[in-house]
Amino acid sequence: MSAHAQLDQAITHHRSGQLDAAERGYRSLLDVEPGHPDALHLLGVTLGQRGQLGEALRLIEEALARRPGVAAYHGNRGEVLRKMGRNDEAMVALLRALELDSTLATAHNNLGMIRLHRRHADLAVESFQEATRLRPDFAVAYVNLGDALQSLGRLEETEAAYRKALEIEPNNPWVYTFLGHVLVELGDIRQLDEALEYCRRGCALLPGEGKAHTNLGSALSAIGRIEEALESFSRALELDPTLSIPWNNIGQAEQQRGRFEAARAAYEKALAMEPRHPRFHANLAGLLAEEHRYAESIEQYRAALECDPNHAEGLSGMALVFLTLGRRDEARAAIEEAIRLQPRRPAPLINSARFFAEEGDFERSNAQARAALALNPNSPDAYFVLAMNLGDRLPDAELQAMKALLDQNYVSDSSLAALAYSVATILDARGCYEEAARFFSFANARQAAARARKGEFFNLERSTREFEDTIACFTPEVLEALRGRGNPSRRPIFVVGMPRSGTTLIEQVLASHPRVFGAGELTDVLSLARELSGVPESQAALVKTLLSLGPASLRALADRYIARLDELAPAAQHVVDKMPGNYLYLGLITTLWPEARIIVALRDPRDVAVSCWSTYFGVLRWANDLRHIAAQIIQHDRLIAHWKAVLPSPLIEVSYEALVADFEPQARRLIDAVGLPWDPACLEFHSLKRPIRTASLKQVRQPIYSRSIGRWKHYEAALAPFCEMFARHNHPVQGAHTSPRVSAP
C-alpha cells in the first residue's frame, strides 16, 4: 500500500472514532517514513485526544519543524497547549494558525474557549460565531457558543445555539442537560415541561455526571418539587464532591422552604469552594435581605459586583435593598445599569416599573411593565404593577390574559396570589364585587399556602400573649422610671395604626407642609426594639433592658435615630415616620423621644378589614384570614386604649372618615396638633412629588374622595368570620374609630 493510501486509511479510522486503528496506521506509516509531517501531526492529534498531551505536543512540534507554514498544525498545537493549561502559548499558536488560514473553524472554536476561560465572553462569542459560520455542522462550537452567550445573560440566543447543536447531534447528552437548564433560567413556565424532559434525558444518558443531576434538580425546583430537587442536588454531590453549584442550589431550595439557617450554610459552602462566583454572593445577599439584615446584604451584593461588575442580578437585588432603605438615587442607578446589561430580561424592567409607580410616574411605570410582558407574557409581577396602576382602566385583553395565567401549570403559590389580587382589584374597581370576592378569597388562600410552605404561620395565641405582655410590662411606674432619659428633639412625628387605616393619607398631608419631610415606613424603631429585646422580640426583655441602661446609654440610642432623620432631611423641622406597626412600641418611643408627636390613625374596622384582606402584603402573616384580621384589630384597640391611659403625653387621634368628610377643617386641626402654622399646600397633598412605597401609592396622588368609606358593604357576606370574631369578644364595630374630628393633644 502506498504511503498516500495508508494515510487516507488511518484518517478514515480517525474520523470514525477508531483511535486505536488510526494510531496503528499513523505509526505504520512513520515506520516507513519516520519524518512524514502529516503522520506526525495526526498521531499527535490522536494522542492528544487520548490525554497523552506531552507526547502529542512533541509530535505536532516535530511536524511543524518540517512544515512550519501549515495552519492546521499550528491550530492543533494550540489546542494541545490549551488542554495543558498553557493558554498564553496556545493563543499565540491559534492566532498564527488563523493568520495562515482564516477559514480554520477549529482554530476559531479553540480560541473562543480560551477567551471564555479568561472571562472575555464577548470576544469568545465572536470566535464561536465565526466557527459556526465556517462550519454550519460544527455542533461543539454551537455548544460553546451557548455557554458564552449564557455567561453574558443572553439566554434566548443561548437557547437557539443549544437547539442548533441538538439538531446536528440529536443524541448528545450534554446538549440535553444544557438546553434543559437554560430553559429553566429563562423563567417561562410554558417551557418547564420541556426543560424537565431534556434534563431527565441528559441524566439518563449521563447517570454518573454530577452536573446532569444538578440541572435536573434545578428543573424540579422550578416546578415546585423541592424534595425531589434536593435529592438530585445531593446525588450530584455524591458523584462529584468538587461541584459548588449544587450547594448554591440547595441554598435556594432551603430558602424557599423558609429554612434560613440551612440556606445560609449551603451558600457559605458554595462560596468556600468558589469565592469568586457572583451568583453565590448575590443569593446569599438575597437571603440576608429577607432576614432584614440589610447592611450585610449590601456587602454581599457588592462582593458579587466585585467578582463581576456586569452581574445584572446582583444590581437588581441591591436596588431592592436600596429602595427598602430609602436610598432611591442608588436604587435608580442600579436598576438602570441592570437594564443596560440585560435589556432582554424582564426582572430589571419590573423593578423599574415599581420604582416609577412609587415616584408617581404611572405612564413610565406602565411602559416598563408592558416591556417586561413583551419579553415574558407570563409575568405575574408585571401584571400586578399594571393592575395597581390602571385599576378599571386596564384593557380587557390584559385582564383575560391574567385570568388565563391563573390556570397555567407551575405558577407558584406566591405568583398565583399576586395574579389573583390583581384580577380581584380590577373587578373591584369595575364594581363586580361578587366576582372580586371570589378572587380575593383565592388570593389569600394561595398566599397563606406560600407562607405555610416556608413555615410561616400566624400564631393567634402567641400574638395575643404579646399584646398582653406589652400592656403588663409598660406600666405607669415603668414609664415614670424611664422618664428624662431620651433625646428631647421635637423633630420626629410618628404616624401609627392598623395598616390601611389612613396612615399614608395623614403622612401625605403632613409632608405637603414646607417644614415637614415624609420619610415613609422606616424600620429603625423595630430594629432598635429587636436590638434591645432579642429576636423574637419580648416586651418584658425590652423593658428590662431599658431599665438597666443608664441615661447616657439611652440618650445615645435616641441620638442615633435623630441622626438618621438628620441624614434623611437635614433642612426639615419635622420628619414623619409612618410605620403603622410602631403602635406596638409607643412605650419605647415615648422613652427615647418624649417630645415627639404621635398620631394614631382610626378607621371603621370593617373597612380596615376589607382593605387588608384585599391587599397583597409581603410580610403581614395575619392578613390572609378575616378572623386573624379581626383579632389583630381588637388587640390594636386594646393597646391604643392602654397607651392613652399610661403615656405621659396624649396621642393625636385622626379619624379617616372625618378627614375625608370634612377635609380642610380636619387638616387644619392636624397641622395645629403637631405644632405647625397652617399652610395651604396641605390642601394640595395629592400634588406632592415624593416617592411612596405603600399600597396607597395611587390613592394619595388623587384629590380627596369618599368612595373607600363603607367599602365593606360590598363584601358583607365575606366579612361574616370577621363580625363573628368581634361579637365573640364583645368588641364594638363602631365607636372611637369614627371619631368626628382630629383630637388635639
Q: How confident is the model over 163-207, as pLDDT tens digits?
A: 999 999 999 999 999 999 999 999 889 899 999 999 999 999 999
- Residue 451 included in any domain: no
Distance, CA of 180 to CA of 197 (rounded, Å): 7
Given this model, what pLDDT does residue 173 score? 94
Q: How confident is the model at residue 269 (pLDDT cuts 50, 70, 90)?
A: very high
DSSP class of residue 651 equals P
pLDDT of 689 above 80: no
The rounded distance, in Å, linking the Cα atoms of 253 and 275 is 20
Q: What is the pTM of this model?
A: 0.84
Strands (DSSP E) along 329-395, which ranges?
none
For residue range 21-52, list pLDDT tens digits in order.
988 988 988 888 888 988 888 888 899 899 99
Q: Number of structural domains, the chain?
A: 1
Q: Which residue has the cell 411593565?
A: 369
Q: Is residue 87 part of a domain?
A: no
Locate the DSSP E strands across 520-651.
574-577, 597-602
pLDDT of residue 593: 97
CATH code, 570: 3.40.50.300
pLDDT digits (tens, 9 = 90+) for 335-377: 999 999 989 889 999 999 999 999 989 999 999 999 999 999 9
Q: What is the mean pLDDT of residues 470-491?
A: 94
- Which one, of 323, 343, 324, 344, lies nearest residue 333 by Cα? 323
Contact between 101 and 70 under an 8 Å Cβ cutoff? The reply is no
Strands 597-602 and 652-655, by their bridges, are parallel
With a cut of 50, say whether residue 736 has pLDDT above it. Answer: no
**pLDDT above 90 (res 232):** yes
Per-residue model confidence as pLDDT tens digits over 374-426: 999 989 999 999 999 999 999 999 999 999 999 988 999 999 999 999 999 99
Work out the burial of residue 679: count CB atoms within 10 Å of its CB; fewer than 13 is exposed, 13-18 middle, 19 or more buried.
Answer: middle
In a domain, 25, yes or no: no
Overall average pLDDT of the 263-282 stretch: 97
pLDDT for 737 equals 55
For the chain, the distance separating the N- and C-terminal CA atoms, rounded to the nearest angstrom, is: 112
Average pLDDT over residues 440-450: 95
Sign of CA dihedral 651, 657, 660, 663: negative
Range with lowest mean pLDDT among 194-198, 483-487, 560-564 = 483-487
Domain of 648? 460-738
Is position 603 within any domain? yes
| Domain contains 260 | no
> Is residue 622 in some structural domain?
yes
- How is residue 547 written as a grid cell? 431599665
- Tens-place pLDDT, residues 317-338: 999 999 988 889 999 999 999 9
User: Tens digit of pLDDT for each residue in 142-163?
Assistant: 999 999 999 888 999 999 999 9
Closest CA to 376 of 146, 191, 150: 191
Per-residue pLDDT, 161: 98
Within a domain: 673? yes
Asked if 187 and 349 touch (Cβ cutoff 8 Å), the reply is no
Question: How far is CA 17 from each of CA 55, 72, 132, rounded to the nearest angstrom?
Answer: 20, 19, 22
Per-chain mean pLDDT for the chain: 92
User: How far out from the chain centre does Cα 20 lie?
Assistant: 54
- Torsional class of 383: left (φ above 0), alpha (ψ -120 to 50), beta (otherwise): alpha
pLDDT confidence band for 16 (50 / 70 / 90): confident
pLDDT tens for 58-104 read 998 898 999 999 999 999 999 999 999 999 999 999 999 999 999 99
> Is 613 domain-assigned?
yes
